[in-house]
Structure formats: structure tokens, C-alpha cells
Structure 1
Amino acid sequence: MREINASIPVDKRLWQQDIAGSIAHAAMLGAQGIITAEDSAAIIAGLKTIQQEYATQGVPEHIELEDIHMQVETRLRELIGDAAGRLHTARSRNDQVATDFRLWVREACHEMDRALKALQVALVDRADQNADSIMPGFTHLQVAQPVTLGHHLMAYYEMAKRDRSRFADCARRLNRSPLGSAALAGTSFPIDREATASALGFDGPTANSMDGVSDRDFAVEYLACAAQAAIHLSRLAEEIILWASQPFGFIKLPDQWSTGSSIMPQKRNPDAAELVRGHCGRIIGAFTGLMITMKGLPLTYSKDMQDDKAPLFEAHDLLDLSLAAMTGMIGEVVFNIDRMRAVASTGFSTATDLADWLVREHGVPFREAHHITGAAVKLCEARGGELELLTAADLGGIDPRLANAQLPDLSVAGSVNSRTSAGGTAPLRVKEAIAAARKELGS
């Protein structure tokens, strides 16, 4: 029973939040006259001593004390005696852990925001260097249309931007203090919940004591944000893995971001990217696991909820590590621009440009233009050449109306330069997006 009931190996990570919450609670109890000013001061002094001890020596794990809350309170009693027993007046471990956990998740949201911003900076810097570097854009992993590498990287900037907004929303929604909800029904003591909420940086207290002790929406929401961010990282990791392979040859990973083989000395394996991709599955698993834990719990607190922290801590650590690794890889990867441009020129990637020209300059309905372009592609395939080598005579053989036409620039450079619509891949638009991003990032 002692072993299954104890959570100290996991929740010791909440020691800073637990002590901060206890200091705020003790100060409020003293201010309200619920305990004496002397006891309040002694409790706060003792808690600050424990704070220093844990910061320098770490948190001990006494299984018989169950959790971080009893760990702190027991040590406090050793330091100041019976006055320590008054700290728990007008609160329960239920509202205590709910408060500690919210404080931890709030800071975790801020940590993820900082890590995502660092990734954004790396993406913008590399996009700036490659605003006009041409690469193939893919659909179905088939060469579709030429784009710029800068445009491609800025797509991930936008994903990270949304991830940051999700974590910011999570931090805003969770920022209500459960402290003072006690076990579930509130307390008869004349506490000041606004005071403790303010002392801990919350926007105010939770509105319902039963919801205050049983709500874990904030943890589920954090994991949802983490899962979505991990999916974005996994997509980028997959591209790095593909691009580093010999058939693609788009990038070269530096030695510090790759590993060798135990028997094949020529190998440079993208292990960091593969681990980022793998971590995504574990983060999604943590998200799913906590939702399943919470789905059938009646109000208010059940011991099942002790298992809410381990998956969140694991997901947080994995995402933090994945972001650091991805930021490092993006900053130091070597792009093979010549290879990218060469592949962009294959697969008749400017076929859409030809169809658009037929519509724009000759008034051909798009479906008909699509058919004419398809015939032109077949002609080029038969000749073994690309679309930019077509002549007016070639098009005239397909459609007599085009026999004397002035053909558009069907090169990959001409294609990307023409994509000037808002959000398009034209270098002009990419540089505008980079400038806007730097303004958003404050750099």
C-alpha cells in the first residue's frame, strides 16, 4: 500500500510551487488573524529554509511521507516545531496539489513559448538566407510546383506561431487559483482567496470549490498543445530525414546532429531528427492517457488523479528536448541549393504556369487549358525535354490558336517570381513575410 500510494518520486518536481503556495497561504492566515502573526512568520521563515535546502541539496524521497506536501510539512515541523501544524489550517491536500500543479503548468507554458520562439528565430534566419533559393514543392511527395526554400521554412514559422498562441491561451485559461477550495466544499474560516491568488500571480480564485479541486482541464489542454507542437516538429523532422537521404540529397547534416553506423563507416544517420519524430508518438500517448484517466471520474477528487503528473512531465521534457534539437538542426544544416533547384526543374513543375498563361492571355477556359497543357507535357515527355523548351510551333500543333503565341517564361525562376499573391512563394513576398516575422519576434 505504501508503494502504490506514494507519489513523491514524481511530484517532488512540484517543490518550488508547493513552497510558494504554502508561503502565500501562511501569510494570508496571519493577515486574517486565523493564526498568530508569530506562527505565520515562523512558518514562512521555515519554508524559506526548506526552499534553500532543496535548491542546494535536492528533494529527499521518503516513501512513507507519500508526497511533496507531507515531505515539506514534516521537514517544517522538524525546523519550527508545533507551529508547523497550523500551516494546514483552512486548506486540504486537494486544493494544495491543484494549486501547485497549475503553477507548474503555467510556467511550463512560458517555457514552451520561449523554446518555440527560439525555433522561430532559427527558421527566420535560414529563410532570410534562402528567400530566393529554388526548391521543388511537393504534393503526394511528387514534384508539384517550384517554390523557394525560404517560403518552405516560413511555413514552419507559421506553425510554431500557432503553437505559441495555443500555449498562451492555455496559460491564460488556467490562471485561476484553487487555493481555498479546501477538500471540496470550501472552508468556514474567514480566508482571503483574492490575497493568495494575487500573491501567486493568478488572475483570481476559481469560482467553484468542487471544480477547483477536481479540474484538470489545464493539464489536458497543455498536453493537447504539446501534442500539436510535436506533430509540427515531427513533420519537419520527417522532411529533414528525407532530404538527408541520398536519393534527395537536399541537405547535409553536420556531424554534431547525426551519428555513424556500428558497422558502416560511411553512414551519417539523422538520429536526432528520427528521435524528434519518435518523441511525437510518446507525447500524443501522454495526451491520450490523461484524457482516458479523467473521462469517468465523478466529482470531486479521486486518487486516479495522482497519475496526472507523470504523463505531463514526460511530455513536457520530450517536447522541450525536441525543440532544442530541432532548433539546433535548423541553425546548422547545410542546404544543397544546386540539387534542390535541379530537382525543382524536373517533373514538369511549371505546367500550371502554362495553363495559367493560357487562361490569362488567351481567354481559354481553365479546364480546356488543363487539357492543352497535358498534351504539351506528353509532347515534352516524348522528346525528353522540359516545358521551357516548348516553341509556339509546338503549341500550334496542339491548338492552332497558339501557333504564333509569345510563350511565357516557363523556367523555375520565372515560375516562383510570378507567384506574387499574398502568402505566395515569390521572393518579394517571402522577404515581406520575413520582415513581418522579425517584427513579431522583436528582432
Structure 2
Amino acid sequence: MITEVKKYYDGKSEEVIAEFGKSFYFDRRLFFADVRVSLAYCDALFQAGVLTRLESERIKNGLQAIVKRAEFDKNYFEEPAADNIHSFVETRLLQLIGETGGKLNVGRSRNEQTATALRLWLREEIGEISKHTRDLQTALINAGERQKEAVLPAYANQQKAQPILWAHWCLAYFEMFARDRERLDEVWRRINVLPLGAGVLAGTSFEIDREEIARELSFEGVAANSLDAVADADFAIETVGACCLLMIHLSRLAEDLILYNSAEFDFIKLTDSSSIDSFLRPNKNLEILELIRGKTSCVFGHQTALLSMMKSLPLGVHKDLQEIQETVFDTIDTVNSCLKIVQINLENIRLNEAKTKDAAAKQYLNASELTDYLVQREIPSKIAQEAVGKIILYAVSKNKNLDELSLEEMRGFSEIIDEDIFHALSLEQTLASKNQIGGTAPERVFEALESAKVSLEMEEN
């Protein structure tokens, strides 16, 4: 029996092992980045005297021909079978120009080639994520401006707390996404360091001008240590980490919209086909945003995978690092798609202003204004809070809002209360009183909207 099992696997083991180690099915997206790296390295080999001018020109022409073919031939990546994107490009180049193509790998290892191509690719992708995040910020500003005087309740501990402007709510998310873009910029700067020239891990014995390669590929500098250059995964972990925070903000925004769209809230309505309609549930809903919540967990999983992969990994080059690419690729794809979905939904919702204003005017959301009123009249804070608590209990027992109580009823709890209390408790004054920088007073919110618009316009210009 053992002999039969051994015989069965002996016939397939090489094929199974070879297939297991392949990465071409996912790293082919590094194609254009890999060719750019090879073009720059070809120039470096020529400058170092490793290649003649004729050899250099043949290799570069061959690489450019490969790129043109890939741009027009949808089936170009299907044949020949390749282990990874680097072997694919090498095979195609050898087919075009013969043995001269093999000289391109003089002094270069797969380790540094992968690290360089991935960094090059990530530079572009982080730029795309930042652009899509900016588009989402624009959608938030537009949503706030469309109904900039609309009021809704803000929540603390899942209970209505205080009234705010709708535009103030939009600006809160604007600030979150602004920080996300700052983090992406910081990650971009740390990615923008050239590992090429590190060799297998100890450097190269050929006179390669790494700084010239960095300039040609628009890297800000070169990796200072060859071992760190090929063994490092910090840039991938930081990229996914920044994306995790971005996804947190997207998931919170998505959940708010889902709740506000529910029949229980009825705060927002859809104006377009951003919902998934069902004949069983004819009301438009934001079901698609539930996927944002689910996909956020997937991105968290990628971050956990990267951290676990690198934990206690001995310094050096390991096959484990191949798994970095798939986690990074899926994270980038997920974030970009989620950004677009949330943007589309924001562009197609309208606030139910009558409903949100009514919700903001009830359930004692102006209680803090009554406390402030008493404190401003030199009532100690603790005593003021106790008095307001008693007034609220009394109002609840009478099934009234605070502003529906008579002056006599209020003065029964504090004689310092006067006629001007009704102005202080009005929804308009409750908002206007929050007039410090960052507050929800209309004047401040409109200033913040304009400032946000100007900052986005300056970026675009």
C-alpha cells in the first residue's frame, strides 16, 4: 500500500510543487512596473560597461515592443506559462531578441526586482486612492452645500444628544478623510526609496549607479542597506494599515447612511439607482453599503496576515514574502471600489429636512443650553445640572418639551430663570451659540465649507 501511494505521488510531485510556488496569476499586474524597472536597469548596465550600446538598444527596443503587444493583445499573458511576472518578461524578451535578452539579469536578483516593481506600482496606486478619497471629500462638501441649513440630531451613546447642521456632519467625515490622505502621503514618501542594486541581499559587484537609476525612476533616494532593502515589508504593512483606517471611516459613514435610510430614522432618501431594489421590499435601500462593512473586515484580515507573516521572521530573504503581494493587491482593489460606491451614494441622497429638524427639536436635546443658561447667571455648575435634571423629569411627566413649559413652571425649579430662556432654548439659538472655531453654528459651518472647497480647488490646480 505504501509503495502504491509513493508511486502515485512520485509522478505528480514536481508538477504540484511547481504550481504551488507560482505567483504569475496575481503578480502579472506588476507588468508595466517591471518593464520600467528593466528599462532603467538596462541603462545602468550600459553606463557600467556591462552592455554595449547595440546590446542596450536591442534590449530596450525589445522591452518596448513587449509593452506595445501587451497593450493590444488581450491574450498576451496566457502564453507562455510563467512562474511569475519577471520570468514572463524575460521569456518574452528572449523570444524577441535571443540570447542578448539574458544579459539584462546580470547582477540583478528576483528579490530586488520584485521589491522595486512593487514599490513602483504602489506609488501609482496610492496616488489613485488619494484621488478617489479627494473625490469623496468633494461629494461630502457638495452634499453639505445642497442642504447647508438643514438640521439633524447628533448622537452620544446611541441616544440623541445635540442638534447640529447637516453640513457639520458632512465636514466631520471630510476631516477624517483628510487625515487618511495625509497618512497615505506619509506612506508614499517611505515607499519612494529604491531597493534596486541590493542584489540577492548583500549588494552587487557591478558598478551600477543606483542614484542614477533612482532619478530615472523618480525615486527620492536609494535604500541605505542592501539586506534591509530586500527583507523589508514595512512599506506593505504601512500601506495596508493606512487603508485599514480609511476603511474604518468608510464603514462608519456607510453605517450612518444605512441607519438614516431606515424606516425607523427616515432621515435620507435616494434620488437614483444607488440601491439594490427588490420586489419583495419595494422601498429603496442602501443594501450595497452593507458590503462596505463586510469588506472592511477583509482589509483588517490582510493587515493581520502581514503582521503575523513578519512576526519573528529571521532577517533575510524568505519565500513567505511572496504572500505580501496578494494581500496588498486585494487591499488596494477593495479600497478603490469602496470609495467609489460611497461617493455614488453620497451624490444620490437627499436629507429629509422636515424629519431631521423635528427629530432635533424633541427629546430635550437643548438641555445643555438650559444648563449653560443657569451657569452664565452664576449658578454653580453642579447645582445647575441638578436643577436641569429635575426640570427634565418634570417635563417628561407632563409629556412636554423644555420649550413647551411655561415660565412659571420653570421658575418653580430656579427663580433666576427669566423670559429670555425661551430664546436660549430655541433650535436656532442652540445652534448659533456653538460659535467657536469647529462648532456647529451656521456662521462657522459655512466658513468651514468654503475653506474645504478652497483647499480642494487649490489641490486640483
Q: TM-score, normalised by structure 2?
A: 0.93
Aligned-pair CA distance for 1:62:
5.3
- Name the CA distance, whole Å, in 1 between partners of 2:362 and 2:118: 54
- 2:214 aligned to which of 164, 172, 197: 197
2:447 equivalent in structure 1: 432
- Name the CA distance, whole Å, in 1 between partners of 2:176 and 2:430: 25
Q: Is 1:6 the equivalent of 2:22?
A: yes
- 1:142 aligned to which of 150, 159, 163: 159
AA of the residue aligned to 1:110 = G
2:432 equivalent in structure 1: 417
CA deviations on 1:352-401 (whole Å, 9 max, x unpaired) are 001001111x1011111111111111121112111112333222211234
Residue 104 of structure 1: SS of its match in structure 2? Answer: helix
1:113 equivalent in structure 2: 130
| Alpha-carbon contact 2:210-2:222 (below 8 Å) kept | yes
Q: Is 1:232 the equivalent of 2:253?
A: no
2:41 equivalent in structure 1: 25
Aligned-pair CA distance for 1:268:
2.3
- Name the CA distance, whole Å, in 2 between partners of 1:399 and 1:342: 28
Residue 164 of structure 2: SS of its match in structure 1? Answer: strand
Equivalence map 1:303-318=2 (5 Å): 303-318=319-334
AA of the residue aligned to 2:47 = A
Q: Is 1:48 the equivalent of 2:64?
A: yes
1:275 equivalent in structure 2: 291
| Alpha-carbon contact 1:3-1:63 (below 8 Å) kept | no
- Name the CA distance, whole Å, in 2 between partners of 1:77 and 1:266: 60
AA of the residue aligned to 2:73 = Q
CA deviations on 1:105-152 (whole Å, 9 max, x unpaired) are 111110111000000001011112232211001111111011000000
Residue 400 of structure 1: SS of its match in structure 2? Answer: coil
AA of the residue aligned to 1:427 = P
| Alpha-carbon contact 2:432-2:442 (below 8 Å) kept | yes
- Name the CA distance, whole Å, in 1 between partners of 2:452 and 2:135: 13
| Alpha-carbon contact 1:2-1:63 (below 8 Å) kept | no
CA deviations on 1:389-419 (whole Å, 9 max, x unpaired) are 23332222112343x5632431222211111
Q: Is 1:170 the equivalent of 2:187?
A: yes
Aligned-pair CA distance for 1:61:
4.2
The list of structure 1 runs, each at least 4 consecutive aligned residues, that deviate by more than 3 angstroms after superposition, is 61-64
Residue 430 of structure 1: SS of its match in structure 2? Answer: helix
AA of the residue aligned to 1:7 = S
Higher deviation after alignment, 67-76 or 267-276 = 267-276
For residues 290 and 63 of structure 1, do their structure 2 counterparts lie closer, same or farther at Cα, with a shift above 3 Å needed? farther
CA deviations on 1:201-251 (whole Å, 9 max, x unpaired) are 101110000001111111111100111000000000001110110010001
AA of the residue aligned to 2:103 = R
Q: Is 1:221 the equivalent of 2:250?
A: no
Provide the aligned length of Structure 1 versus Structure 2.
Answer: 440
Equivalence map 1:84-163=2 (5 Å): 84-163=101-180
AA of the residue aligned to 1:375 = K
Q: Is 1:324 the equivalent of 2:331?
A: no
| Alpha-carbon contact 1:170-1:221 (below 8 Å) kept | yes
AA of the residue aligned to 1:308 = I
2:4 equivalent in structure 1: none
Aligned-pair CA distance for 1:296:
2.5
Q: Is 1:82 the equivalent of 2:99?
A: yes
Aligned-pair CA distance for 1:319:
0.7
Aligned-pair CA distance for 1:255:
4.5
1:186 equivalent in structure 2: 203
Residue 153 of structure 2: SS of its match in structure 1? Answer: strand
For residues 397 and 265 of structure 1, do their structure 2 counterparts lie closer, same or farther at Cα, with a shift above 3 Å needed? closer
- Name the CA distance, whole Å, in 1 between partners of 2:303 and 2:80: 27
Structure 2: 5+ residue stretches without partners: 1-16
AA of the residue aligned to 2:406 = T
2:420 equivalent in structure 1: 406
Residue 149 of structure 2: SS of its match in structure 1? Answer: coil
Aligned-pair CA distance for 1:87:
0.1
1:365 equivalent in structure 2: 380
1:299 equivalent in structure 2: 315
| Alpha-carbon contact 1:193-1:205 (below 8 Å) kept | yes
| Alpha-carbon contact 1:130-1:148 (below 8 Å) kept | no
| Alpha-carbon contact 2:111-2:230 (below 8 Å) kept | yes
Residue 349 of structure 1: SS of its match in structure 2? Answer: coil
| Alpha-carbon contact 2:272-2:348 (below 8 Å) kept | no
AA of the residue aligned to 1:397 = G
2:364 equivalent in structure 1: 348
RMSD between aligned alpha carbons? 1.4
